Amino acid sequence: MCNSSSGFKLCTCNDEASIDRKKPHWVLHRKVPRPKDDFSDFIVGEAHIDELYGSITRDNILDHLRSGECFDTDVKLKQKDRLDIYIEEICYQFELRRNGWQIYSFDFPGIEYQSISAGIVET
């Protein structure tokens, strides 16, 4: 867990069970790999947001993600990774594309993802 005095921070944790899912948190998903692909292990974390919960918007989060400084550790991101950020009962979804983070749009049926990271949102 990280400590942030201000701003937006996605903090990693050692154990998924330590995440309070009633508080802001995040999960990073990766498409299920083909047998020849090598992917990292599961990581968990928290998300810290220096804004009132009701005032956060999808565009604000997207701006923070595009700044490239939102994770507290070096998370090995790959294209088409999907990031879900849960704030109260809303799930904001984003996907990493060639030109950076984008608002996630639904994939074709049959595409599977596995969780590779998760955490909480720091406030």
8: number of Cβ within 10 Å: 23
In the predicted structure, residue 111 carries a pLDDT above the cut 50: yes
In the predicted structure, residue 107 carries a pLDDT above the cut 70: no
DSSP annotation of 70 reads -
Which residues does 3 contact at the CB level (< 8 Å), separation at least 6? 122
Please spell the DSSP secondary structure of 6-39, one letter per residue: SSEEEEEES-GGG--TTS-EEEEEEEPPPTT---
pTM: 0.71
Strand (E) or helix (H) holding 64:
helix 58-67
82: number of Cβ within 10 Å: 18
What's the rounded Cα separation, in Å, for the pair 34 and 18?
A: 30
Which residues does 1 contact at the CB level (< 8 Å), separation at least 6? 11, 13, 18, 45, 46, 120
In the predicted structure, residue 51 carries a pLDDT above the cut 60: no
In the predicted structure, residue 97 carries a pLDDT above the cut 50: yes
What's the rounded Cα separation, in Å, for the pair 82 and 96?
A: 7
pLDDT of residue 101: 92
**At 100, is the pLDDT very low, low, confident or very high (cuts 50, 70, 90)?**
very high
